[in-house]
Structure 1
C-alpha cells in the first residue's frame, strides 16, 4: 500500500470521527500522529511544538483572561443591564426588542470575545422576552444566534488573538481593525430585524424615554467601563492586550466583591420595575462573593483547556501540511484565478465553504497560513485580510450544516434546529453584504489603526 493511499485512508478516518462527534482536538491529534509516522517526523517534534506554544506564546495569555472577564461580567448581572440599556434605546421602534437583542449581543461581545457565550447569554435572557412581546419564537431564537456572530469580530476577540499568534500580527491592531466591521455587522442585522418585524407586525412598542435610557446606561456602567478600559489601553498603547485583559479582570473582581454586600443590603431588588429604582441603586450590580470566584475561574479554565491544546497541535498540523505540499496546491489554485478581485473572492469563497462544516478555530488554523500570504502577494494589507478572513469565518456560525450558534440557540431556547433555518436567511444576506463591503473598502478595517 502506497503512502498516498495510507494518507487518504487516515484523512477519511479522522473525517468520519469528526462527523461522529469526536472533539476537534482529538481528530486533529490523531491525524497529526498518523501523518508523523507516514512522513517520518519523530513524535518528539509534537512534544517540542506543544512546549514551544505554551512557553513562548505570550500573546495567548490574553485568551484565558478575556474569557474570565466575560464570565465575571455575566455573573455580576451586567449582561442583563446591557440588555436593558439596548431595549431602552430601541424599544420604541418596530422590532425594537429584536434590535435590542442584536445590540446587546454587540455589547456583550465587546466583553466576552466569544460567539457561543454571546448567543447563550443573550439568547437565554431575551428569547423569553421576545416571545412575550409577540415575536415568532423561531425568529427570536434565530436573532440570538445571528447576534452571536459578532462575538469574534468586536474586540476583544479570542479568535483575533489566535490569528495574530499564528500570523505574527499585532493583536492590538487586529482588535482596533474589528471595531468598524463589527459595528456594521450589528447595524446590518438590525436593519434585517426591523424589516422582518415591520412586515409581520411583531413586537410591542414602548415609549421613547431619555430618562430610561440614562438610568439603564448608568446601570450598565461596569460593562461600559470594561469595554472602554480595553479599547483605551490598547488604542493608546498604554498596555498590551494581555495587560489589558489582566487589568480588566482585576477591576471586575474588585467591583464584584464590593457590590455584593451592598446589593444584599438593599434587598436584591433586581425584580423591581426600573421606574421604582433610585439612581444610586442602579450603580449597584449583583456582584459575587470570594467563595464563588473559584467556580467562575474553573469554568473559564475549562474553556481555555479546550482551546489551548487545539492551538498547540495545530502548529504541528501546519508543519505536516507544508511537508505534504497542501499549501502549495491550494495556493496554486487560488492564484490561478487571475487578477486581484478574482483571487480575493476565491479565497473568501474557500473560507465561507469551510465555515459551513468547521468551527472558526480550525478554519483559522488550517487556512489562514495558506491564504494570508497569497492575499499579501496581491496587495491586500495583512490586517485587512485578517478582518476579511474572520468576518467570513463568523458567518459560518449561522450557516448549515454546522452553524454552531444555531445549535447553541436551539439548546438555550428549546426551538428545534431545523425550524430556525428559514429565519437565518435575512441575517445571512445582511452579513454577506457587509462582508463584501469590508473586502472592497480597506479603510473600514484600517481607518482606526494608530499611526506607526
Structure 2
C-alpha cells in the first residue's frame, strides 16, 4: 500500500475516534504511532522525543505552577473578593453585574492563566446572582463563557508558555505583548454586555459609592498583590516565568495558611451576617490548611498530567508532518496568497477554523510551527504573530461546535449548550473586531516591549532617556 493511502486511512481512523469522544492526547498519539510505522521510523524515536521534552523543557515547569496558583486563589476565596471589587466599580451602570463578571474574569486570568478555570470560577460564582438580578440565564452563562477567553491572553498564560517553548521565543516578551490585547478583549466584551443589558433593561443598579469601592479594593489587596507580583517580576526581568510561577505559588500558600485565617477570625462577626447581606457586600474568605493542600495539588497535577504529554507527543507529530511534506505543502499554499496581509489573514482563517473543532493547545502545537515561519518570511514580527495566533485560538473557546468554554459554562450553570449560542455570538463578534485590530496594528502587541511607545515613555521618565 502506498504511503499516502496508508496515512490517509490512519488519519480517517483517528478522526473517527475523535468524533467518538476519545481524548485528544490519545487521538494524536495513535496518529503519531501509526504514521511513524508507515514512515518506517523506529519507535524509540518517540520515547527519545518525549524524554527530551520533559528533561530539557525548563520553561514548561511554569505551566503546572500557574495551574496550581489558579486552584489556590480560588480555594482561598480571592476570586470572590476580586469579583466584589469589580461589581462595586461597575454596578451603577446598566448591566453592571455582567460587566463585573467580565472584569473579574480579567483579574482572575491575571493570576490563573487558564480559560476554562476562569469560566468555571466566575460562572459558578456570578451566574446565580445575575439570574436573581433579572438577567436572562442564557446571557449570564454566555457572559461567563466569553469572559473566560482572556484566560490565555492576559499574563501569566499557560498557552503563551507552550507557544514560547515550541517556537523558541522569549516567554517574558510574550507575556508582556499579551497585556494590551487582553485588556482590549475585556473592554470590548464589557461594551457588548452594557449594550445588550441596556437594550433589555437587565440588572439592578446600585449607587456608585467611593467608600464601597475603596473597601472592596482593600478587601481584594491579596489578589491585586499577586497580580502585581507576577507582572512586576516578569516586566522588570527579576523573574523568569518559571520563577514567577514559583514565587506566586509560595505567596498563595502563605496567604491561605496564615493571612486569610487571621483575617477571618478578625471579621467573624461580619461573616456571621453573610446570609442577611446583599451579594455586593459579601466578602468571603476561607483559607486552607496543610491537610487540604495535597488535594488542591492533586487536582492541579491531574490537569498538568493531561497537558504535558500532549505537548510532548506534539513534538513527534511535527517531525512526522515534516517528513510527510505537509509543512512544505501548506507553506507553498500560503506563500502563493501573496504578500504580508494575504498571508496573515489566511493564517488567521486557518486558526479560526481549527479553533472551531480543536482546543487551543492542539491548535498551537500543530499549526504554530507551520504558520509562524511563513508569517515571518513575509515580514510579520514573530511576537506580534504569536499574539495574533493566540487571540484567534482563544476565540475558539466560544466558537461551536467545540467551544470548550461553552461546555464549561453549560456545566456550571445548567444552561443547555445550544441555548448559549444566541448571546455568545454577540461576544464573538466583539472579539473578532479586536482580533482584526491586533492584526492590523502591530503596536498593540509591542507597545509595552522595548521600542514600544509606553516602554520608551517610561524609560524617558525614569531613566532620563538612556534606556
Query: CA–CA distance in 1 between the matches of 2:300 and 2:288?
Result: 16
Provide closer, same or farther for how the CA distance between residues 418 and 275 of structure 1 changes in structure 2, counting only shifts above 3 A.
closer
Aligned-pair distance for 1:73?
A: 0.5
Aligned-pair distance for 1:270?
A: 3.9
Q: Judge conservation of contact 1:99–1:193 (CA < 8 Å) in 2.
A: yes
- The corresponding residue for 1:207 is 207
Aligned-pair distance for 1:261?
A: 3.7
Aligned-pair distance for 1:265?
A: 6.2
Q: Judge conservation of contact 1:139–1:420 (CA < 8 Å) in 2.
A: yes
- The corresponding residue for 2:177 is 177
Q: Judge conservation of contact 1:259–1:285 (CA < 8 Å) in 2.
A: no
Superposed counterparts of 1:241-256, under 5 Å: 241-256=241-256
Query: CA–CA distance in 2 between the matches of 1:436 and 1:443?
Result: 13
Residue 370 of structure 1 pairs with residue 366 of structure 2 = no
How many residues of Structure 1 are paired with residues of Structure 2 in the alignment? 448
- The corresponding residue for 1:60 is 60
Residue 217 of structure 1 pairs with residue 224 of structure 2 = no
Residues 318-338 of structure 1: per-residue CA shift (max 9 Å, x gap): 000000010111111111111
Q: Secondary structure at the match of 2:268?
A: coil
Query: CA–CA distance in 1 between the matches of 2:98 and 2:204?
Result: 11
Of stretches 167-176 and 252-261 in structure 1, the one that deviates more from structure 2 is 252-261
Provide closer, same or farther for how the CA distance between residues 275 and 426 of structure 1 changes in structure 2, counting only shifts above 3 A.
same
Residues 154-183 of structure 1: per-residue CA shift (max 9 Å, x gap): 000000000000000000000000000000
Query: CA–CA distance in 2 between the matches of 1:274 and 1:89?
Result: 23
Aligned-pair distance for 1:149?
A: 0.4
Residues 284-330 of structure 1: per-residue CA shift (max 9 Å, x gap): 94211011111111111111000000000000000000000101111
Provide closer, same or farther for how the CA distance between residues 210 and 273 of structure 1 changes in structure 2, counting only shifts above 3 A.
farther
> What TM-score results when the alignment is normalised by the length of structure 1?
0.96
- The corresponding residue for 2:268 is 267
Q: Judge conservation of contact 1:395–1:428 (CA < 8 Å) in 2.
A: yes
Instruction: Give RMSD over aligned pairs.
Output: 1.7
Residue 400 of structure 1 pairs with residue 400 of structure 2 = yes
> What TM-score results when the alignment is normalised by the length of structure 2?
0.93
Give 5+ residue unaligned stretches, structure 1. none
Of stretches 284-293 and 232-241 in structure 1, the one that deviates more from structure 2 is 284-293
Residue 194 of structure 1 pairs with residue 194 of structure 2 = yes
- The corresponding residue for 1:341 is 341
Query: CA–CA distance in 2 between the matches of 1:79 and 1:182?
Result: 18
Provide closer, same or farther for how the CA distance between residues 449 and 357 of structure 1 changes in structure 2, counting only shifts above 3 A.
same
Query: CA–CA distance in 1 between the matches of 2:269 and 2:392?
Result: 43
Query: CA–CA distance in 2 between the matches of 1:261 and 1:115?
Result: 29
- The corresponding residue for 1:239 is 239
Give 5+ residue unaligned stretches, structure 2. 452-466
Query: CA–CA distance in 2 between the matches of 1:212 and 1:134?
Result: 23
- The corresponding residue for 1:304 is 304
Residues 26-48 of structure 1: per-residue CA shift (max 9 Å, x gap): 00000000001000111000000
Residues 126-171 of structure 1: per-residue CA shift (max 9 Å, x gap): 0000000010000000000000000000000000000000000000
Aligned-pair distance for 1:271?
A: 6.2
- The corresponding residue for 1:153 is 153
Q: Judge conservation of contact 1:85–1:217 (CA < 8 Å) in 2.
A: yes
